[in-house]
Structure formats: C-alpha cells, structure tokens
Structure 1
Amino acid sequence: MTFTMVVAMLPWAGAAQAHGTVINPASRAYQCWQTWGHRHMDPAMQTQDPMCYRAFQANPDTMWNWMSQLRDGLAGQYQARTPDGQLCSNALSRNNTLNQPGAWKATNVSRNFTLQFYDQASHGADFFRVYLTRQGFNPNTQQVGWGNVDLITTTGRYAPTQNISFNVSTSGRSGHHVLFVLWKASHMDQTYMWCSDINIT
C-alpha cells in the first residue's frame, strides 16, 4: 500500500483532536487500528494478533486515538520525565499496554529506510529524535527503556505540513528491533512518543 493510499484512508478529526503518528513503520497503536479497527470484534484477532487483542481489551481508545499520544509541558525533560518501561506509551497510563513486550507485528525494513510520519493538524516539528534498540534486545521479553536504546537520528525543523518523511540508517543492526520516535511539535510545548516494531532485513 502506498503512502498516498494510507493517508487517504485516515479518518478526519477536529483540530482539537488531530495530531499525528509514525505510519511507516507503523507505531503499535496505529498498526492495531489499521489492521483491526474496522473489525475490532473479530475473534480471529486473539490468535492472529494477540498483542493488539490485549490492547483492544485493555483500552480500545488507545487505538481509536492513535494520533493523540501526547504530553504537554515537558520543557525538554524527556528522559527525566519518562520512566523506563513507559517509553512506548509516552508515560500515559491509558496506553500502558503499548509498553508490554510480546509478539507485536513488525514491519520489514532495510538497513536504510524512509520513515513516514503523518501530522493531521500540520503542527510542524521542532525536531524528531529516532532511537533504536541495541543488538541483543529481545522485544518479546523486554520493555523499552532508555538504557537499551541508542539515538540514531535527529532531524532539524519542519514547517507545518501533513506528510513528513526522512531517511533512517539502522547502523548495522539486523533482526527484530523496536524503533522509538520522539516528536517535538512546533505549535506549543507538546511532545509525542511512539514505538514501532521492525524487522531489519
């Protein structure tokens, strides 16, 4: 599915609700919404995608509001105010299932790939910071913490627009990893964080 087709499928939301997420490789909540949102009552989810099933059972609003995983007023204290094991939920208790290790569906990527981000409200970005779990990290059994990720990309500013993409190098890693992305929006002190599961081939 192309980037244009994915964006065309996204639901409209009012400006107060509209924000964004990483759509490729899909963040955990977005992947669950994209795959199961239109058939979230399908019992097949329990066996075919057990991590999404747990997330929907715990709080379906996590998936319906996949674009609203934000905190206000962090004043640059991203690590100090985001405890280990809570990176994937952006330390939001309502999204805690996104922190749980397990068999999340992973997107296949090459060692150099293009990250695609959708900013529905066109907030723009002061910067993105992209982290990747270290070689040997096991997403099936370990929660993502600051001590098991490395910063691999920091971008500059982006003017307000809906579609942002930039290149990411996985620095020689291979296999199953978790990509952790931090977005500092430009319109106010508003910070978003997500995890995307990837398989580096």
Structure 2
Amino acid sequence: MLKLVLVATILSLTIIQVSGHGYLTYPISRQIRCTSNNQNSIWWPENGDGIKDPQCKAAFQYVYNKYGGSADAARYQFVQKNEYSINIPDYAQGPSAMKARLPKSICSAGAVNKDVLFGDKSGMSIPYPWPATIIDGAGAGSKTINISFCATAVHAPNQWSFYVTKPGFNVATQEITWDNLELIQNYPTTQVPSTPTNNLCETSNAYNMAVTLPARYTNAVLVSVWQRVDPVGECFINCADYVFSGSNPTTSSTSSKPTTSSTTAAATTVSSTTGRPTNTTTSSTSSTTGTCMCPCACSA
C-alpha cells in the first residue's frame, strides 16, 4: 500500500511540474533557494522539521499550521516552484491592474488558498530574515547585473518589469506591499530566451536581461514580473533577496528611477560556475543538489 502511495505521489508531482513556466536563478528566488538544498526534506517529518534552512522551514510551517497541520498544503509552494503565477487579463491597463489583482502576498503571486488554482504559497511572503545574494558593488549607488530567469516553458509575446524594496525596508519584520516597492526597470517588448547562465536552471532556455539594481546595504528584495501578452494575462512573480557588499558610503537614502529597456538577514554568494548559493552566515545550509522531492529517497 505504501508503495502505491509513493508512486501516486511521484506521478502527481510530475504532472504538476509539467505545467510550470519558470523561476529566477540569479539572483536566486526564494523558492529555488529552498528547493536547491537537498538537506531540506519536505516529506518527513510531516510538520517540516526535516527542513534544515530556517527560512524554508518557517515558510513550510506557516502554511502547515494555517490549515491545522496540512503537509500537502505546505509542500505545494516547494513542488510548484515553476508556477508562481496569477492571471491579469486587464494587464494592458498597466501596473494599476496588477496591483488591484495582487494587493498583497506578492512573493506568493497572490496564491493564498490551498483549495483554488495555484494553491497556497503564502509561506514565501512571510516577513523573515531571508538569506540574500551578495551584489559586489561596495561604495556604488547602483550596479547593473545580468538577471537569469529559467524558462521551463517559453512564452511570447511577453513583457517584463522589475521592482525593489525601498530604502529602509526591513525584510525580517515587514510585509512586502506595493507601497514599499519602487519600479526600477521595464522591458516592454518581447524578450527571447537564450542559454541559462547557471545550473540551477533545469532546462536549456533562460531569459537573461540587464537590470540596474539600486544599492541596498541592508537586505532588499527584487521582484520580477513576467507578463504574458495574451487574453488570459498569465503573469509570473518571483522574489529574490539581495544586498550590496561592504558598508553604505553615505547616510542619506535616495530612491532610484525606473529604466526602460527595448534588520539585516543572512547574505549569500552565488558561484558563477555552479549557480549554487553559499551562505556567509550560519542561518541556513546549502548544498549542490536539489531538494529531496521524491519521498521514497528521503532520509528521516
């Protein structure tokens, strides 16, 4: 009987992931930070105590406790890593349409109910000292990086926009809302996928774009918005934490202006060779292989 349950579970996860569409690998998104560490067992114990990274464990247990101890509901945000999605059919009206349909739980793409489409991924939106990718830009007011978004399905036409949390935002204590986000860059015309820049991507396609990040010397959050240009208006939202290396060269804070193109938490460096996160504090444990997604292969 147990074997039948395991087989059914594996088949259901395979079906779920086929429908996925993508995720940020640089800077590394919250859900991929969790699923790329094979020390994070989402299967046993069912209450999430097998998850080693504290931020991932907190995300799991937030949803688990929300439904009185539902492991299936809590696992969904990890299993469905490819599809942090919300439908915005009136996207042509601009950011106001997106903000109206996604007023909160931004890092979960508004998925906060296990019984409806896209399930409950609200654990990824909780205030917590999430580890951050270190941006080597000490003393700079901004830095242009090449973001990489793994495309498990390619969609065209498309358009992209990027937001970051404003100066003074505290990722450990504050919920991310549109009021504490600022638009930094737009790609209003269709982007074409190319080769992934790191091995966190499980396919051969990735959207790689130059994005100018404003300097943040305490942990900040980059929010990527991938909008499909179609009648359904499928929109994919990912959150990635980042922080500039070094100390703030000035005590004054200034907001950045968007560019249009055709408490401090743990910090993380990302290998340019492997794409794997390596924490510079002891707040979480990283590995070079994926999350224990198959229950039959997990150790207790």
- TM-score range for the pair, normalised by the shorter chain length: 0.7 to 0.9
Residue in structure 2 matched with residue 122 of structure 1 by the alignment = 154
1:183 aligns with 2:216: no
Q: CA deviation at 1:17?
A: 1.0
Shift, 1:60, TM fit: 1.2
Q: Is the 8 A contact 1:103 1:140 kept in 2?
A: yes
TM-score relative to the length of structure 1 = 0.82
Unaligned stretches of 5+ residues in structure 2: 1-12, 64-73, 92-96, 113-119, 137-142, 195-204, 246-300
Q: Do the aligned residues in 2 keep the contact of 1:123 with 1:160 (CA within 8 Å)? A: no
Structure 1 gaps of 5+ residues are: 1-10
Q: Structure 1, residues 150-171: CA drift from partner, whole Å, max 9, x if none? A: 1001113113662111111123
Residues 185 and 108 (structure 1 numbering): CA distance in 2 closer, same or farther, change over 3 Å? same
Asked if the contact 2:31–2:81 (Cα under 8 Å) also holds between the matched residues in 1, the reply is: yes
Measured against aligned partners, the alpha-carbon deviations of 1:35-92 in whole angstroms (never above 9, x if no partner) come to: 247644495745xx222012233311111111011122442110111113x1111111
Aligned to 2:206: 163
Equivalent pair of 1:125/1:160 in contact (CA under 8 Å)? no
Please tell me whether the aligned partners of residues 125 and 159 of structure 1 are also in contact (alpha carbons under 8 angstroms).
Answer: no
Q: 1:37 to 1:108 in 2, by over 3 A?
A: same
2:198 counterpart of 1:196:
no
Instruction: Give structure 1 regions of 4+ aligned residues with deviation exceeding 2 angstroms.
Output: 11-16, 36-46, 54-58, 159-162, 171-175, 185-188
**Match for residue 82 of structure 1?**
102
2:131 aligned residue: 105
- 1:114 and 1:160 map into 2 onto residues whose CA distance is 13
**Which range is displaced more, 187-196 or 59-68?**
187-196
Measure the CA separation in 2 of the matches of 1:144 and 1:189. Answer: 23
Q: TM-score, normalised by structure 2?
A: 0.57
Secondary structure of the 1:88 match is helix
Between structures 1 and 2, the one with greater strand share: 1
Call closer, same or farther: CA 1:183–1:190 in 2, change over 3 Å.
Answer: same
State the match for 1:56 in structure 2: 60
Same amino acid, percent of matched pairs: 23
Q: Answer yes or no: is the 8 Å Cα contact 2:40–2:51 preserved in 1.
A: no
Determine which structure has more spread, i.e. the larger CA radius of gyration: 2
**For residue 30 of structure 1, what is the aligned residue in structure 2?**
32
Residue 112 to residue 160, structure 1, CA distance change in 2 (3 Å): closer
Q: Which amino acid aligns with 1:157?
A: T
Q: Write out per-residue CA displacement over residues 84-131 of structure 1, whole angstroms, 9 at most, x where no aligned residue.
A: 3x1111111001111101121211123321110011111245211100
